[in-house]
Amino acid sequence: MPHPIEIRNLRKSYEGRAAVDNLSFDLRAGTLLGLLGHNGAGKTTTIRIALGMIRSDGGTVSILGGPITRDTRDRIGYLPEERGLYPKMPVIDFLFFIGMLRGCERSAIRPRAANWLERFDLADRHKSPIQELSKGNQQKVQFIATLLHDPDILILDEPFSGLDPVNRHLFEEIVLEKRREGKAIIFSTHVLEQAERLLDEVIMLRKGVAVVQGKLSEVRASYGGSKLDIAGEGVEGALRGYPGVEPGRQPREGVWRFRIDDRSRAQEVLAHLVRSGARVEGFTLAEPSLNDIFLERVGGIDRGLVESGFIPEEAGA
């Protein structure tokens, strides 16, 4: 059985500049796939091509088993990055409009809309013009509009941006609920801690190229080893050139981060430090976080780190 979304060798360029370069991935039912990358990395272009809004220069996109059609388009729920709402339209009218535009019957929309409005604590605002709602509540309306036609595929562009913690939790809960129901979900985000908590699979894009791709656990494993945070004095000098230890960046004053090829090497490193007379004040061994992987493979958040050599040049370029 084909996966809900199958993308092969997708290419798209604008005025000679590649926006998406040879991208391939599958989105499986019941999984959460994260598209991570800076602005202009190709996330929105990929999403728009998948939705049939723009055409690719090459490659194939298969939605629910074939090229996108009017019917399969209606089985996608899309939350655009830029929230778009008719400001003067009452909430319930907007939901009816979007629901019907996505192919639902009026009779089917009514109970669903009531249900979602209840869940998002907006039941008493259903007649209010959208512009009278707070930003967070407007985002809830937009989210309901995405879910209203009970789509098989959810494409959420920065779904959690601008939400307060309570609502972020509510949104997360619903996304996870949809995954349990077997929906296939793509979302793009730059909140990496959150992505780490939710994602099953991850694609990191840099200039349209997938620099990291795979199951989150595999990505972590393939990142190679673990990270070691050591606080103290003389640490960096003592470990320079030590086999199996790559010098890393300095996450904060007085702390050095190293990558080691194997967890078991940590003991050996500590012993070496003690022997060489470095003063060790803190010693932490941890799995690399998505943030670490992102910074190293996609980079660019702090150019200063690249220039000072703490992040490999090819990652930050």
Q: Which residues bind another protein (CB under 8 A)?
A: 48, 51, 53-55, 70, 73-74, 76, 78, 80, 82-89, 97-98, 100-103, 145
Residue 1 CB, shortest distance to another protein, in Å, is 25
With respect to another protein, which residue has the nearer C-beta, 61 or 204? 61
With respect to another protein, which residue has the nearer C-beta, 94 or 160? 94
With respect to another protein, which residue has the nearer C-beta, 75 or 259? 75
For β-strands 58-63 and 5-14, DSSP reports them as antiparallel
Residue 25 CB, shortest distance to another protein, in Å, is 20
Helix 91-101 to helix 106-119 angle, to the nearest 10 degrees? 130
For β-strands 153-157 and 184-189, DSSP reports them as parallel
The dihedral built from the CA positions of residue 178, 180, 186 and 192, taken in this order, carries a sign that is: positive
Residue 163 CB, shortest distance to another protein, in Å, is 18
With respect to another protein, which residue has the nearer C-beta, 7 or 315? 7
Residue 93 CB, shortest distance to another protein, in Å, is 8
Q: For residue 280, what are the CA distances in angstroms to 23, 252, 268, 285, 299?
A: 45, 15, 14, 14, 29
Interatomic CA distance for residues 282 and 232, integer angstroms: 7
With respect to another protein, which residue has the nearer C-beta, 97 or 242? 97
Residue 177 CB, shortest distance to another protein, in Å, is 23
With respect to another protein, which residue has the nearer C-beta, 90 or 136? 90
With respect to another protein, which residue has the nearer C-beta, 102 or 297? 102
Residue 7 CB, shortest distance to another protein, in Å, is 17
Residue 165 CB, shortest distance to another protein, in Å, is 25
With respect to another protein, which residue has the nearer C-beta, 129 or 244? 129
Helix/strand/coil (H, E, C) string of the chain? CCCCEEEEEEEEEECCEEEEEEEEEEECCCCEEEEECCCCCCHHHHHHHHCCCCCCCEEEEEECCECCCHHHHCCEEEECCCCCCCCCCEHHHHHHHHHHHCCCCHHHHHHHHHHHHHHCCCHHHCCCEHHHCCHHHHHHHHHHHHHCCCCCEEEEECCCCCCCHHHHHHHHHHHHHHHHCCCEEEEEECCHHHHHHHCCEEEEEECCEEEEEEEHHHHHHHCCCEEEEEEEECHHHHHCCCCCEEECCCCECCEEEEEECCCCHHHHHHHHHHHCCCEEEEEEEECCCHHHHHHHHCCCCCHHHHHCCCCCHHHHC
Residue 153 CB, shortest distance to another protein, in Å, is 12
With respect to another protein, which residue has the nearer C-beta, 54 or 270? 54
Residue 26 CB, shortest distance to another protein, in Å, is 21
